[in-house]
A and B are shown apart, each in its own frame.
Chain A
Amino acid sequence: MYGLFRLVLQLLSAQLLCVWVLGSELTFELPDNAKQCFYEDIIIGTKCTLEFQVVTGGHYDVDCRLEDPEGTTLYKEMKKQYDSFTFTAAKNGTYKFCFSNEFSTFTHKTVYFDFQVGDDPPLFPNENRVTALTQMESACVSIHEALKSVIDYQTHFRLREAQGRSRAEDLNTRVAFWSIGEALILLVVSISQVVLLRSFFSDKKTTTTRVGS
């Protein structure tokens, strides 16, 4: 009986946590001429943040669109490399955000996005709270906040580094490819120059003799 009561209490607290614990970050590959949409059910009044960044591919840009349950576009940007958008949900329902690579003909893009809904769960749940937080607890809370921002900065740094490394790899392959190509072109052009010149002079010689006789 007590076990059942505890189970019911846990389920209720899980329902409460639904408002808090939703924040998803994903990295996915967007093929060329493709569009990928993500959906999330949001309760009215929740503050949400959508942040995205293109990690690899082409000119590192993508189209992004955020729509509310009735189809009104809340945010629409074309060919953006990275952006962050905060909004407060004005309606209940399923919000949809899409990333589109339809303007690109042959480059795959890797896109990272982070969709935060509501606030993070607090470190000390307030169910049995009768007094204010003790010094220990408030120290823990400030360490927790600092560590969360460290993780956040690390993610940004990691994305920037991935982007830089992707560009460096592209540069590397391009340098090798074009250098070999240029050396070959140089050889071909110079040999054909000599051959062409020789052919000019041999023709002229025959015409001069014919004219002479």
Chain B
Amino acid sequence: MSLRGIGFLLQCYLVLAAAMYFDLGEQEQKCIIEEIPEDMLVTGYFLLEPWEMNALSHSPHLGVTVTVRDPNHEVVMSKRYGKFAKFTFTSHASGQHYLCFQTNSTRFSVFAGERLKLHLDVQMGEHSVHPVTDKTKDNLETLENSLRHLIDQMIFITRQQEYQREKEEVFRQIGENTNSKVLWWAMVQTSVLLTVGFWQMKRLKDFFIAKKLV
């Protein structure tokens, strides 16, 4: 059982090592934004490596602090990991979540400014096609697995659509808000214009009468 677990992690490591990466400086924080609907399980894999593969001039105590913020900018999860890890979290609110990665190492800051590679892979939902770990010769079981995968995909799509409906509601509210604001402020401005006009005329008339020019 543990052999399979190790095998799975090693697979992830290998797949991730060839995945996309971006540069991260020491003590630098970089964030990515993910639109996540409610109650969605999000799995992320990351791998931190030095920029030059053969330059192991610093201590290997590299680590990453992963901070996840929800749409209200409250911290959902903040954990420290080693160089390679898998992190998961479930979203409680729907909206834009911020996944921030910051490197931290136990080295002196004299060597700060060295570049590091951060490989990243974030998956939402449980519907990604994992390699078949059970080498079942039974066609029915493979069919069952595929159907389960299709059902997961459809649930993911339905959740995204519900989330989309919520956001369109917000969009429509903004539009109607703008409309009523335009109307209200136009009326206010017209009334200000009229009031001020009358006031001007009245003051000037009184002024000229007082000065005996009229």
Bound together, the chains give a CA A65 to CA B24 distance in angstroms of: 20
The answer, yes or no, to whether B143 is at the interface (CB within 8 Å) is yes
B8 closest partner in A (C-beta): A10
Cβ of A39: which chain B residues have Cβ within 8 Å of it?
A: 20-23, 117
Hey, what's the 0/1 contact readout for B150-171 against A, CB within 8 Å counting as 1?
A: 1001101100110010011011
Report the separation of the CA atoms of residues A157 and B4 in the bound assembly, to the nearest whole angstrom: 40
Interface residues of B in 185-212 (CB under 8 A from A): 185-186, 188-189, 192-193, 196-197, 199-200, 203-204, 207-208, 211
Interface residues of A (CB under 8 A from B): 3-4, 6-7, 9-11, 13-15, 17-18, 21-22, 24, 26-29, 36-41, 110, 115, 120-121, 123-125, 128, 134, 136-137, 140, 143-144, 147-148, 150-151, 154, 157-158, 161-162, 164-165, 168-169, 171-172, 175-176, 179-180, 182-183, 186-187, 190-191, 193-194, 197-198, 201, 205
Residues of A within 8 A of B32 (CB): 26-28
**Interface status of B175 (Cβ within 8 A of chain A):** yes
Distance to closest chain B CB from A51 (angstroms): 14
Per a CB cutoff under 8 Å, which of A110, A154, A187, A205 touches B157?
Answer: A154
Binds A, one of B57-65, B76-84, B103-111, B176-184: B176-184
| B170 partner residues in chain A, CB cutoff 8 A | 165
B199 neighbours in A (Cβ, 8 Å): 190
Are A140 and B22 in contact, with the CB atoms below 8 A?
Answer: no
Q: Is the CB of B18 within 8 A of A22?
A: yes
Q: Which residues of B contact A13 (CB under 8 A)?
A: 131
B141 at the interface (CB under 8 A from A): no
Q: Is B33 an interface residue (CB 8 A)?
A: yes
Q: Which residues of B contact A161 (CB under 8 A)?
A: 164, 167-168, 171
Contacts of A194 in B (CB 8 A): 200, 203-204
Partner of A186, one of B18, B181, B193: B193
Q: Is the CB of A165 within 8 A of B167?
A: yes
Nearest chain B residue, comparing its CB with the CB of A24: B20
Contacts of A18 in B (CB 8 A): 14-15, 18
Tally chain B residues at the interface, Cβ within 8 Å.
71
- In the complex, which of the residues B31, B35, B121 has the most CB atoms of chain A within 10 Å of its own CB atom? B35
Cβ of A21 and Cβ of B143 under 8 Å apart?
no
Stretch at the interface among B67-75, B85-93, B132-140: B132-140
Q: Which residue of chain A has its CB nearest to the CB of B142?
A: A124
Contact A187 B174 (CB under 8 A): no
**B56 on the A face (CB < 8 A):** no
* A121 interface neighbour in B129, B139, B157, B188, Cβ under 8 Å: B129
Q: What 5 additional pairs, Cβ within 8 angstroms, besides A26-B32, A191-B196?
A: A10-B133, A165-B174, A172-B178, A193-B200, A201-B207
Quick one: given A121-B129, A187-B196, are A172 and B177 in contact (CB under 8 Å)? yes
Closest to B201 in A: A194
Q: Is the CB of A17 within 8 A of B15?
A: yes
CA distance A4 to B207 in the complex (A): 104
A27 touches B34 (CB 8 A): yes
Contacting residues, chain A, for B168 (C-beta < 8 A)? 161
In the complex, the chain B residue whose C-beta lies closest to that of A41 is B18
A168 and B188 within 8 A (CB): no
Q: How far is the CB of B42 from chain A (nearest CB, A)?
A: 13
A56 to B22, CA, bound (A): 22
Q: Which of chain B's residues have a CB closer than 8 A to the CB of A169?
A: 174
Q: Which residue of A lies closest to B19 (CB)?
A: A22
Across the interface, name the chain B residue whose C-beta is closest to A171.
Answer: B178
Tell me if B10 counts as interface (CB < 8 A to partner A): yes
Give A140's nearest chain B residue, CB to CB: B146
| CB nearest neighbor in A for B160 | A154
Residue of A nearest to B121 (CB): A24
